[in-house]
Structure 1
Amino acid sequence: MYRQQQQDPNGWSYSFGYPNLISPVDVSSIRQVATTTTTTTTTTPTTTTTTPAPAIKCGKGPTALPAARSLIGERIAGSAETKANAWPFMVALRKYTNNPEILKKGINYDDFCTGTLISDSKVLLAASCLEKMSLYEMSGVTVAAGITFNKVTFTDVQMTRRISKVVLHSQFNAATYANDIAIITLEYPMALSSTVGPVCLAPASTEIDQYADQSAVILGWAIGTTNYPFSVLGKDTVSISLNSDCKADVNFGKYVTNANMCINSLNAIICDEDVGGPVVVLSSPGIWTQIGINSFIKKGCDSNSLQTRVSAFRAWIDTYSKN
């Protein structure tokens, strides 16, 4: 069951319910908030205090930028392989499929888009990941976190969660990719740990070239038409382009606004399944900040891509990450 809530000024909100169903998630793994417990007897008063667990820091990842690749024309699918759980904020959006090419691999799901954890119960992604799906299809989407790979089952997933709510930006335009941003609320929180945790987010800014000429990292699930399902999580070092250079791009220049950014790389090109995923910069050793959300991808995955600039939507993100 689902219901579309009334539109507010900045987003369309969809809520999902699962009456009379037992949730498949492990409730025991949900992160609990520690509380102070006081126990009193008629003889000697006793106070027992539980110390809260330390907060999980955002942006945990490798301590330095990965080396840039020297090969030309690679997708993220062919870029450098990441170590297991090196990027704890990466999640995959998963839906059931009847595609025979996928079924013959022994799995019945399609990892169709990417997102990032921004808290234990919120996922940041592109509105274009979900905009073409019916509400019924959205209600069947699950979010997988803590993904690692092996040659037997292809992927091992620490946790999956269903969706309880989706908010798409109210001014998202599927034709121009304007305001291509969305937030998912999970049915149950993820259990945060050293291998599953949130990304840091760029602070609010109106500066269109805030990160221009800086090095950044793009991340993707390495999906291709001939090697599905995933075999690695790919990464590559790129540079952030000037907004004026983004507007001059022959593929997506007509879509660029002050709320966009783009990357420049001859080495790795993101593809369809990487939409919604992050562009991140190294804020300090081992701490990564998301500055972009993968948005426009040219069909064929043979050129650079357009991103939604996170700092332009920070107020919007803060509003819906708290609701």
Structure 2
Amino acid sequence: MMGDQIGSSKLIVLLAIVTLLSFCSPASSFAFLPRVSRTDDAVIIDFDGVGYAPSYQGKTLYGQIVDPRFVPLPSFNPYPMTYRHQEQTPNGWIYSYGYPTPLALEDVLPVRQTAATQCGIGPVMPASRALTSERIAGGISARKNAWPFIVALKKSDDSLFCSGTLISDTRVLLAAQCLEKMSLLELSGVTVLVGMFLTDQSDVQMTRRISKLFLHRQYNAATYANDIAIIVMDAPVVLSRSVATACLPVASTDPDQFVDQDAIILGWGGGTENDGDVVPFPNLQQAKVSIWSNGDCKGDETAGRYVTENTTCITSATGDKFTCTPADVGGPVVILPSPGSWTVVGINSYTKDCATSGLKTRVSAYRAWINLYMTMA
């Protein structure tokens, strides 16, 4: 009898071990990791269909139509009870755990796509102003909803760490350095904040997660070469009067394509506290700058050593307008070549210690790359 009990106990223990191993085996755990592949010019990280990015198609897990502005968090995010902690109101769903209350419906009504509204919605070119040495630095507060194509990125701890530019209803253009050093787990926790104006995130109009990520394969963290990436969001954003895409420039091999043109830099910048740390402003900042020639930029003591034919530089006549904090990295430099067509010509890349000149990835040099990964499923 005792022998039978010992044998049964051993069998139970053995079954428990086998079951545990089956859950922990590489084959089973791999199903919850994104697929990573490479092409000649990109590293592709694909979360879709591997336990992270659900097939959205306008429905929840329960098949119910939901407010398209807020996509439910994936099942293994830090707040796994989000599906249960929500309340339906006449204006949509209210999500707990930091997801903001949706705006009034009239603020996010979809707009009919016409030639005038497909890309580049924004204000008239802001006038030059005498500014103090504040940070976007050196900028002024933007008007709410004036720049509908800039987005912010946050980590799972709610900290803002980069900006980006909406270039389609599913894709965000930004710097590779924003995401290149993050682990796959950290990437799974990144949220794209669309329509944000305030850094307290209380007015975010839509939230999305990463479904797929294209990082330029030749990105060099030491030289900032090929500092470009594209995020594919897990559901299309709703285009409206306050959420729209920026236009893209025509392809060009001329590094001085836009030299001496006025441009606008955007970001949440920052002021300087007593301890010397640069902190974000409470709301989006804008500053008027000029596109600098690559020849002149090569002589700059900070950015000059990183200048290539695929970069561009900006400068400020007053010397006090520049991108500064990590939240500004990846954000846009835009010009207005014609009314109603704000065009992203640069991606904020390198600005050492809030220097007054800044190295930007030149978007027109990467149009073929962008076109390829704008359409790749």
- String of CA shifts for 1:149-208, please: whole Å, max 9, x gaps: 39xx56310000000111110100000000000000001111111110110011100111
1:60 corresponds to which residue? Answer: 121
1:29 corresponds to which residue? Answer: 68
* Alpha-carbon separation, structure 1, partners of 2:112 and 2:133: 46
Correspondence for 1:6 among 37, 50, 55: 37
**CA drift at 1:229:** 5.7
Letter of the structure 1 residue corresponding to residue 130 of structure 2: S
Which structure would you say has the larger RCO, counting Cα contacts within 8 Å and 6 or more residues apart?
A: 1
- String of CA shifts for 1:85-141, please: whole Å, max 9, x gaps: 1000010011122xxxxxxxxxxx111000000000000000011111111101110
1:319 corresponds to which residue? Answer: 372
Q: Does 1:263 align with 2:318?
A: no
In the TM superposition, what are the counterparts of 1:177-256 in structure 2 within 5 Å?
Answer: 177-224=224-271, 226=273, 230-256=281-307
Check the 8 A contact 1:154/1:229 in 2, yes or no: no
If the length of structure 2 is used for normalisation, what is the TM-score? 0.71
Q: Does 1:92 align with 2:158?
A: no
Letter of the structure 2 residue corresponding to residue 79 of structure 1: G
Length, aligned pairs only: 288
Check the 8 A contact 1:220/1:235 in 2, yes or no: yes
Q: Does 1:148 align with 2:209?
A: no
If the length of structure 1 is used for normalisation, what is the TM-score? 0.82
**CA drift at 1:75:** 1.9
SS of 1:133's equivalent? Answer: coil
SS of 1:136's equivalent? Answer: helix
**CA drift at 1:2:** 3.0
Check the 8 A contact 2:138/2:322 in 1, yes or no: no
Structure 2 unpaired stretches of 5+: 1-31, 70-110
Bigger radius of gyration = 2
SS of 1:29's equivalent? Answer: coil
Structure 1 unpaired stretches of 5+: 31-51, 98-108
* Alpha-carbon separation, structure 2, partners of 1:21 and 1:243: 41
* Alpha-carbon separation, structure 2, partners of 1:167 and 1:135: 13
Check the 8 A contact 1:73/1:269 in 2, yes or no: no
In the TM superposition, what are the counterparts of 1:41-60 in structure 2 within 5 Å?
Answer: 53-55=112-114, 56-60=117-121
Letter of the structure 1 residue corresponding to residue 344 of structure 2: Q
More helix by share: 2
Correspondence for 1:175 among 206, 222, 229: 222
CA RMSD, 1 decimal? 2.5
Correspondence for 1:82 among 142, 155, 160: 142
In the TM superposition, what are the counterparts of 1:61-140 in structure 2 within 5 Å?
Answer: 61-62=122-123, 64-71=124-131, 73-97=133-157, 109-140=158-189
1:308 corresponds to which residue? Answer: 361
- C-alpha distance 78-245 of structure 1, shift in aligned 2 (>3 A): closer
- String of CA shifts for 1:221-247, please: whole Å, max 9, x gaps: 134564856511110110111110111
Which deviates more from structure 2 when the two are superposed, residues 262-271 or residues 113-122?
A: 262-271
Q: Does 1:19 align with 2:51?
A: yes
**CA drift at 1:77:** 4.5
